[in-house]
Each structure stands twice: as C-alpha cells, then as structure tokens.
Amino acid sequence: MECFLAHTPRMALATVLLWCACLGPALTFAGSSPACAAEKAVPAEKNPPGDIPDTQVFIDYTSPQGFTMKVPEGWGRSDRADGASFVDKLDGVVISVSKAASAPTVESVKANELANLKTAERAVTVTSVKAVKLPAGQAIRIVYTSNSEPNAVTSKQVRLENERYLYFKDGKLATLELYAPKGADNVDQWQLMSKSFRWN
C-alpha cells in the first residue's frame, strides 16, 4: 500500500484484512510513489457493488479529537490517533483531524491540496472543488475519482468515486473522506453523514 496523504492515513490491520477478503476497496495513505501519478484509470464496474442500503441505520460517533458525526452502524471501525475509519466491503468513511493555521478556501485547495492528492493517490481525476455551507459551517467539498489499491491476491483494482470535506475551526482541520465504487448510489447517505458533522 504505497500511496498516502499525510493528514488522512487509511487502513489499520483490521481494515486491511477486511479489504483483502472483499477484493480490496480503499485508497490507502501509507506511503508515496511516483507510480501513483502515472497509473491509468481502471474502468468502472458495469454493475458496481457498494450501494449503502436505504435501510442502513446510522449511529452517533463521538471522537476524542473534538467532533461528532453519524456513521453507519455495523461497519468495521479502526481508531487512530487522529481520527477513525469505518469500512464495509468496498465502501468507506475516513475522518481525521490535523492542525491548520487558517481555513481552507477553494483557491488554496486548488493550489495545494489537489497537487498533493494527484501525487499521493492512484489515477486521480478531480471533477469539482466547491465551498459548501453545512450545519457545521463553511466547508470545502472535493469530488474526484481514483483507483483503489490492488488486491493483495488478485491484483484487481476498482475505480472509486470520492467526496472529501474539509471543516475548519479554531486551528483544527477535519477531513472527511467518503468513498465507494464508481456508479454506486450513495448520494443521500453521503449527504446525511457530511451534514451530521459537528465540532464539540
């Protein structure tokens, strides 16, 4: 697992085991390699798995990093020093907190974040960077697609769609990452989670 973004590490051991068992979903922020930038996008699945059921129950997660949000009940959880990840098969939610001197803007994200993103992850195509108003306040929303890490056994990769939200308050930056196979229908569930984020 060679690609990473420093402020959003992705898979603890339990997540890796789950990933291998399910033909490997997620992006992994664990190292950096030029191969990531040169990699070609893999085709999206014709009938992609990864839809979060309409019957999915969401529960409140309170982090020692100073935020709360709703996450899917029953998903595999991995706690880290900077946040936590929640994974179910090819779907994932990653939330982390880091220090920041100022709130991100569309301009600062385009100038800095996107370059790091394209270098660190696999075959990234960014489709949108926008400022959005959420219950927690102003945030930046980045929409992009990328390749998953190759499966450890089959080397198969999945084309992922991603939404990343950047929330800022009092010198802290929270990064919420939502990902699923490209074409999965998770619009309502992703909106629920992104709107549920609150600083404590």
Domain coordinates in residue numbering, the chain? 13-40+56-199
Separation between Cα atoms, residue 90 and residue 6, nearest integer Å: 22
Asked if 158 and 147 count as a contact pair (C-beta separation under 8 A), the reply is: yes
What distance in Å separates the CA atoms of residue 129 and residue 117, rounded to the nearest whole number?
13
Give the distance, in angstroms, between the CA of residue 33 and the centroid of all CA atoms in the same chain: 19
pLDDT at residue 75 is higher than 50: yes
Topology (CATH level 3) of domain 13-40+56-199: Protein Transport Mog1p; Chain A (3.40.1000)
Residue 49's pLDDT is 78
Among 81, 72, 89, residue whose Cα is nearest residue 12: 81
Mean pLDDT of the chain: 85
pLDDT number for residue 169: 97
pLDDT over threshold 90, residue 103: yes
What does the pLDDT look like over 11-50, one tens digit per residue?
A: 443 343 333 344 444 433 334 445 455 789 988 876 677 8
DSSP H stretches of helix in 80-158: 106-108, 114-120
pLDDT per residue over 136-148, tens digit each? 999 999 999 999 9
d(CA 35, CA 45): 23
**Is 112 in a helix, a strand, or coil?**
helix
Q: What is the mean pLDDT of residues 74-102?
A: 96
More confident residue, 85 or 33: 85
| Residue predicted with more confidence, 159 or 38 | 159
Confidence of residue 77 (pLDDT cuts 50, 70, 90): very high
User: Tokens 């309170």 appear where?
Assistant: 62
Exposure class string for 122-158: b at 16+ Cβ within 10 A, else e:
bbbebeebeeeebebeebbbbebbbbbbbbeeeeebb
